[in-house]
Structure 1
Amino acid sequence: MAAVEVRGLRKSYGKTTALDDVSFEVADGEFFCLLGPSGAGKTTTLKTLAGLVEPDAGEVLIDQTPSNDVEPTHRGLAMCFESYALYPQLDVYGNLASPLRSPLFRLPASEVDAKVRAVAGMLGIDGLLERPVTRLSNGQRQRVALGRVLVRPARAYLLDEPLAHLDAKIRASMRAELKTISRDAGTTTVYVTHDYVEALSLADRIGVIRDGRILQSGTPEEVWARPVDAFVAQAFGKPRMTLIEGGLTEDGFVSGDGVLRVPVPAVSAAPGDAVQIGVRPRDLRLRLGAEEPGAGWTAVDGRVYVLEHLGRATEVTVAVGDARLSVVAPRAAVAGLAADDRVSLLIRPSTVHVFATGDEGKRVST
């Protein structure tokens, strides 16, 4: 395996900036997830790493060796494309075997067969080996594309949304398989996704990217607990973190309409400054009956805006003035609750995130 590093990558297509000073490091054997929405620059970053896109500026290093001028076939990297990129004239077996039969490897037929069948079994496509890829579903094609990458030796694997077209059950199973493969083989992996669940469950470290810029890199725990700005904060969790605009007072935060008032942790801003707070649904509780808030909790009164039943749990959106706060509660605990009912929420001020206002929304909680 190999360590991978990119330094100051820049790439533009006409007036559109795809990459804007992208830099990160992936240690030997590390699983690094690049998380961001469509158009953030994730795929361009992978293609630049692979040598398929030439950057306007910046450097790619593999095991600390500058590799900008190294041809893709000689970088020792294996890439899985979201668009499958399968050979339509070959069956599943032929597609999986193709890297091992290439001039780069030329493995004996018995070894090719063993590797192909092992990877096909792991991906659950061992019963499709003789089927033409043109007769596969999108999910099956994606597994073949992933298998064609995993079957070959590589210094690092570059995976571009490899689970995007799989159904939920198979996707969860494949997450576990990829984690196991990475752990057991010690593979270096750069994994692109828009799904925060994949990033949190798979990654040793996560890089959050937006508009071609890396906003934050860190362990899953770091980016979850201390997001550097409001965008990163809202990239994780479902329901998403609620953002509420207002200002700071001597006692904490007050919303713009003056209805919501909560203490906040220590901040670098001063009373009178405009800020926005972020509250995760999991850090809220519904106050039931005459329950006392208890130490470390603050009660906030509101009314039920909407209820969404999600099996055993119910997502309750509570209106507190103009603000809308979401909380997830056991379905049995909110039985009989209806829209416009008066309720009380319990907030832990220690879990409130404070950000500056505006597009940047930088963190001001210290």
Structure 2
Amino acid sequence: MQEVAPKEAVAEFVDATKRFGDVLAADRMTLRVRRGEFLSFLGPSGCGKTTALRMLAGFEAPTSGQVLIDGQDVSGIPAHRRPVNMVFQHYALFPHMTVAENVGYGLRQRRPRLPRAEIAEKVARSLATVRLDAFTERRIWELSGGQQQRVALARAIINEPKLLLLDEPMAALDAKLRGEMQRELLDLQRSLGITFVLVTHDQEEALSMSDRICIMGKGRIAQIGTPQDLYDRPRTRYVADFVGKANVIEAEVERVTGDAAVIRLPGGDAARVVCMPDEQRRAVAVAVRPEALRLAASDAIAPEGAAMLPARVTHRTFLGDHTEYLLRHEGIGALQVNVPRQADRATGGHDVGAEVHVLWEPGAGLVLTSDD
């Protein structure tokens, strides 16, 4: 097998499969992890994302296929001999040790033994990086959840790993602190230049932090791309449903012109959508984001090229920066439309039970491929 040049990838899965008895946890995974990127594995419980991370870490070996680091097959190399460190969900810190002792623990286990002065210098530098240099003598139980996470990060980066693996490290934090730590973690990754690989089920976390996101489902890679690519161009219903919110509608294609199609919606309304170029099917599923639709009064006139779908408001929820409307269309069924606060205030809003029109601008929807 041809080795991967360091400038191309720091790690790679090559047809990596992992079975636990009859359970197929990872199914022929093939993926390159680029050097210096922030990559996230995103998916629901049981999708295979944690198994992928553990194969990189060395806690699991693939049943078949390979895991490469810098072009070398590490499938048989134990975790402690890999240039990889991991931050666990519950941090795995030693409560009887000080912050400095926790951070320096790995260095003290090295053989040949490092000089104490060198260990102390590395510990101080690592704690300064995560802004905990004033907490060296604190005990773990004296720290907040965010501070404990920083200790775990300092312990992980002190060995200057080629890969830093993060197993849902912010799951135990409250919403406000989680947002702060996401920004700090991203700043840390940018300053260190280390490749970060995150496992999460939180789509907002993945979207806000990642250079690329790998959507996992049933042990397979469903789609990989930048956050914007995955949000704007999901290929399947599974990805459209998992990344953000989407109205997924069954429709029929009337005609295709270039990368656009005219579809006929249930109820007879026609709309123009973006069409995946390899699709030749007549019956299709179309995804349209709630913010891509607009609401208008029932007597409004449709702008040129837009479709107007008559609907009734069933729920209205104020969410601060926008109002979430749930509607019922006779042919489609349930629809969700998110209206920015300023636009909602300008129209006076729409009460539950009101008859309205949903405006579908040309190109608002995207034809999806099969989940198979």
TM range (shorter): 0.7 to 0.9
Indicate whether 1:162 and 2:162 are aligned: no
Equivalents in 2 of 1:82, 1:105: separation in Å? 31
Equivalents in 2 of 1:316, 1:166: separation in Å? 30
Instruction: Give 2:335's aligned amino acid.
Output: R
State the 1:308 CA deviation: 0.6
- Does structure 2 conserve the Cα–Cα contact (< 8 Å) formed by 1:82 and 1:142? no
State the 1:30 CA deviation: 1.9
TM-score by length of 2: 0.84
Equivalents in 1 of 2:141, 2:198: separation in Å? 26
Which residue number in structure 1 is paired with residue 3 of structure 2? none
- CA deviation map 1:267-323 (0-9, x unaligned): 55557x332211101211222587654345322221111111112421112221223
In structure 1, which of residues 336, 352, 355 is the aligned counterpart of residue 365 of structure 2? Answer: 352
State the 1:355 CA deviation: 2.3
Indicate whether 1:150 and 2:157 are aligned: yes
Which residue number in structure 2 is paired with residue 254 of structure 1? 264
Equivalents in 2 of 1:265, 1:99: separation in Å? 53
TM-score by length of 1: 0.86
Q: Counterparts in 2 of 1:7-156, with a 5 A limit?
A: 7-103=14-110, 106-117=113-124, 119-120=126-127, 123=130, 129-134=136-141, 140-156=147-163
- Does structure 2 conserve the Cα–Cα contact (< 8 Å) formed by 1:281 and 1:326? yes
Indicate whether 1:184 and 2:168 are aligned: no
Indicate whether 1:243 and 2:252 are aligned: no
Equivalents in 1 of 2:279, 2:73: separation in Å? 43
Which residue number in structure 1 is paired with residue 371 of structure 2? 361
In structure 2, which of residues 279, 289, 292 is the aligned counterpart of residue 280 of structure 1? Answer: 289
Instruction: Give 2:248's aligned amino acid.
Output: L
**What is the root-mean-square deviation of aligned Cα atoms in Å?**
2.8
Higher mean C-alpha displacement, 66-75 vs 117-126: 117-126
State the 1:130 CA deviation: 3.8
- Does structure 2 conserve the Cα–Cα contact (< 8 Å) formed by 1:287 and 1:293? no
Higher mean C-alpha displacement, 126-135 vs 30-39: 126-135
Are residues 336 and 204 of structure 1, via their aligned partners in 2, closer, same or farther at CA, if it must alter by over 3 Å? closer
- Sequence identity of aligned pairs in percent? 36
Are residues 49 and 280 of structure 1, via their aligned partners in 2, closer, same or farther at CA, if it must alter by over 3 Å? same
State the 1:7 CA deviation: 0.8
Unaligned runs of 5+ in 1: none
Which residue number in structure 2 is paired with residue 233 of structure 1? 240
Number of matched pairs: 355
- Does structure 2 conserve the Cα–Cα contact (< 8 Å) formed by 1:264 and 1:349? yes
Equivalents in 2 of 1:107, 1:347: separation in Å? 66
State the 1:20 CA deviation: 0.7
What SS class does the counterpart of residue 173 from structure 2 fall into? coil
Instruction: Give 1:353's aligned amino acid.
Output: L
Are residues 323 and 361 of structure 1, via their aligned partners in 2, closer, same or farther at CA, if it must alter by over 3 Å? farther
Unaligned runs of 5+ in 2: 1-5, 256-260
- Does structure 1 conserve the Cα–Cα contact (< 8 Å) formed by 2:270 and 2:307? no
